[in-house]
Amino acid sequence: MFTIRPMDMRDYDAVIALMQETPGVSLRDADSRDATERYLARNPGLSFVALVDATIVGCLMSGHDGRRGYLQHLLVSPSYRRQGIAGALIAHCLAALEALGIVKSHIDVLVTNTPAQAFWERAGWTRRDDIARYSLIRSTSANA
């Protein structure tokens, strides 16, 4: 059995380790300790970890811009998949966002991550083909 609780900075090392071992997830400068601390402070109580005993086996981070929610980095350790952990993490994030009046959320999935795309479609999320995302990087880092 697993439990879900809000993520805090004490979870950072375990979450990063989980990200590193999860195929399809890319680590960026935005996943640094400082950036993650700013994100969690800006979006308190909106990111969650899943634990089995005292071990973090899953994570989902979320935040909002005041109108829309944004989910990021859904991770479940391969040996704990198909146990409802991902669905529970999603439900916790969406409930926390809804408590703030945020009822529409988005998640970005890399086009090369077909297993993640299939997961989100099975979970009832709609792929958007009517918009294009544009990004601008104001940094000299190639990994921003």
What pLDDT shows up at residue 27?
87
Strands 105-107 and 3-6, bridge-based pairing: unpaired
What pLDDT shows up at residue 57?
97
**CATH number of the CATH domain containing 92:** 3.40.630.30
What pLDDT shows up at residue 81?
93
**Domain membership flag for residue 53:** yes
Which residue stretches of the chain have pLDDT < 70? Answer: 144
What pLDDT shows up at residue 124?
94
What pLDDT shows up at residue 70?
97
Domain extent, residue 46, equals: 3-122
What pLDDT shows up at residue 61?
97
- Rounded Cα–Cα distance for residues 7 and 65 (Å): 19
**Domain membership flag for residue 64:** yes
**Domain membership flag for residue 80:** yes
What pLDDT shows up at residue 139?
80
- Rounded Cα–Cα distance for residues 125 and 117 (Å): 9
**Domain membership flag for residue 137:** no
Give SS3 for 123: coil
What pLDDT shows up at residue 84?
96
What is the count of structural domains for the chain?
1
**Domain membership flag for residue 142:** no
Task: Name the pTM for this structure.
Answer: 0.92
